[in-house]
Structure 1
Amino acid sequence: MALYKRKNSCFYYCEIKISGKTIIRSTRTTKKTLALRFESQLRETLYRQHVLGDRPTITIAEAIQEYASSKKGAVNQQNLNTQVRTLNAQLSRVYPLQSELHSLNGGHLTRLVSLRRKDGVAEGTIRLMLTTLKGVINWSKSAGYLQPDNLVIQKIRVNNQRTRTLSNHEESRLLERLMLNKSPDDYDLVVLLLDSAARLNEIQQLRWDSVDLKNGEIYLWRTKTNTESIVKLTDRSLEILKRRQTIRKHSELVFPSKTGGLRRTTPKSIQNVYKELGLEGFCTHSIRHTTASKLVKNGMSLFAVSKLLGHSNISMSQRYSHLEQKAVANQAVEILNNN
């Protein structure tokens, strides 16, 4: 029987056999007329999926939720949660979240970008929102759900060419001031960042089992490329880690939070020093740019710097290309003057 009631339920159930499979679904209704309508719609849907090869559908709200669930346990979990909340709030302005994902189109996204620009948010913020949406769509595609037709997520260009870096004088002042902070973590963290050119979260998730003091190396997990890199320690970074190991407590992390867990952001005590020294436009990620710029200025190739930074390809290091050109020009004139 295609439609029936179970002894332990007041709802009608429908049972449909198709392509050698038996599908049983609750109609979630006690009225037979509504149950028959449900059964007819389900039979049509199953026919399209199993016989015609149509893919199952999913609402945008469900897709966002499932995408977020698939990322649980990630190092950047807190940031991802913020991005998902933002995407839900902003996308709902142009597209009902209970609507099917495959009906999303370029017009919706054009209006969304326009609204966010009217809100006065930075282009980088808009790009991050669209990147999160792209992650949701890629997840739904890998999960086999029906996709939007010819949906193109526009690329938001952000001018990153003028990157804030520290001068030698500013770097010295920063380190001298951090040494006065109550927590030695502040000075130690910034030195490790300066000497490794690592991302903040890569140092914050560094564990002692990834530190080789004997060979002066640390093993960094690159969260953006899902690869591991070996970084040689400078003399001062090696001394810092040796000192920290002698006073380490129970945490397996090199730079644990006050509660012993994983740090998520730059400590306020470091951010306050940036403000105190008047380092306008400077943030912790600027430390990475500072080290990369210093290396290129002193003759290291873009390819080598790209490897050190853990970039997936050299194009991501092009922001330093003008520095490489200047270094090469200086090397060339030195050679020519001596010959």
Structure 2
Amino acid sequence: MSTQSNTATPPVTRGEMFTLSALADTFMACYQGRDPSFTSRLSFFTQHLGEKVASEIDADDIDDVLEALKQRGRLFNVGGNKRGGSVISTHKTLADATINRYRCTLQSVLTWARKRRLMPKTWVNPVVETQRLPEDNARTRYLSEPEYEKLIKVSRLASWNKLTLLIMLAVTTGARRGTLLGLRWKDVDLNSGRAFCERTKNGDPFVLVLMPDVIQEFQRISTKTNPEDLVFCGRYPTKPMNFNKPWEQALKDAQIEGVVFHSLRHTHASWLAKRGAPLLAIADSLGHKSLAMTKRYAHLCVDTRAEMLSRVFNNQGA
């Protein structure tokens, strides 16, 4: 399964980087399932992410594709069962179950790659950081302020003493998981309240603004370390911590359901929207290059927009 019709897809080789298209081709060569729609669902992902390095795909990439799937909607074969008929997008709403099947398709391919030891040792399947849709078409899940406060309290009991800082940074900066795990002590300037990310998902440098309580948390955990060491390391200072167990335990202790780590990024954007931040400012804070993905938070701006319109137009003629 190649995203390029005239160019052969490079083979997958263990220990080397490879694209999603290459992985899809190799996976389908081994596929023994009987799902007739599996290939078309996987093709949708390769159409959008085929040229990306498979191990560098993150939750935002997957959310982007699932959003594109929603926009495309159901397909319709103009020619029916006749040969030569064209398939078009209807933009009619897809069932949540259908979207979930697309999501699970990619998850199964990436999980297969991990089991075959094709992915880096510290790699985590990014699909688990996306949300499986419930049947009631609920909106993107984000934390309420009471939930956040409770999560911070219980996270201080975690076996990994940096979990609280990681959660606080994710919510207050909106930074992606990979960006945060890539932070080194040399990137953090507590005097200016800034953290400098050399490379983000978009390949651009980005500056994180550190809130006072985040700076205090940095000061709490900071010890004499090598500037090259990762902030969020585990046993080895140059390797990021696999924090899934303490994170899941914190959610359980706080009795918070339906939340994954990527929900903290949604929380950042949702709180900004509810407090009247324009979509352009939210996009900038998230590091989005366009407003397409930021528009998912537009519905949270309605109350703020209503207040603004009321202030302006209720005074007309006064």
Shorter-normalised TM range: 0.5 to 0.7
- Does structure 2 retain, via aligned residues, the 8 Å contact 1:174–1:273? yes
Give 1:325 deviation, angstroms. Answer: 3.0
Match of 2:286 in 1: 309
1:16-55 equivalent positions in 2, closer than 5 A:
none
Structure number with greater Rg is: 1
Match of 1:327 in 2: 304
- Does structure 1 retain, via aligned residues, the 8 Å contact 2:155–2:163? yes
1:1-339 equivalent positions in 2, closer than 5 A:
58=8, 60=9, 63-65=10-12, 69-70=16-17, 88-93=26-31, 114-115=37-38, 128=45, 131-135=48-52, 156-157=69-70, 162-248=139-225, 252-263=229-240, 265-336=242-313
**Higher helix fraction (1 or 2):** 1
Equivalenced residue count is: 233
Give 1:286 deviation, angstroms. Answer: 0.1
Match of 2:82 in 1: none
Letter in 2 for 1:315: A
Relative to the length of structure 2, the TM-score reads 0.62
CA distance in structure 2 between the aligned counterparts of 1:311 and 1:67, rounded to whole angstroms: 32
- Does structure 1 retain, via aligned residues, the 8 Å contact 2:186–2:228? no
Give 1:223 deviation, angstroms. Answer: 3.2
Find the residue that maps to 1:218 and give its secondary structure. Answer: strand
Letter in 1 for 2:290: N
CA RMSD of aligned residues (A): 3.6
Over residues 208-231 of structure 1, what are the superposed CA-to-partner deviations in whole Å (9 max), with x where a residue is unaligned? 222122211111245321001112
Over residues 20-52 of structure 1, what are the superposed CA-to-partner deviations in whole Å (9 max), with x where a residue is unaligned? xxxxxxxxxxxxxxxxxxxxxxxxxxxxxxxxx
Give 1:316 deviation, angstroms. Answer: 1.6
Relative to the length of structure 1, the TM-score reads 0.58
Q: Assess, with a 3 A threshold, how the Cα gap between structure 1 residues 187 and 220 changes in structure 2: closer, same or farther.
A: same
CA distance in structure 2 between the aligned counterparts of 1:229 and 1:321, rounded to whole angstroms: 24
CA distance in structure 2 between the aligned counterparts of 1:196 and 1:245, rounded to whole angstroms: 19
Runs (5+) with no aligned partner, structure 1? 1-55, 72-79, 95-110, 118-122, 137-154
Letter in 2 for 1:204: L
Over residues 298-330 of structure 1, what are the superposed CA-to-partner deviations in whole Å (9 max), with x where a residue is unaligned? 011100110110112111201011112332212
Give 1:337 deviation, angstroms. Answer: 5.5
State percent identity of aligned pairs. Answer: 26
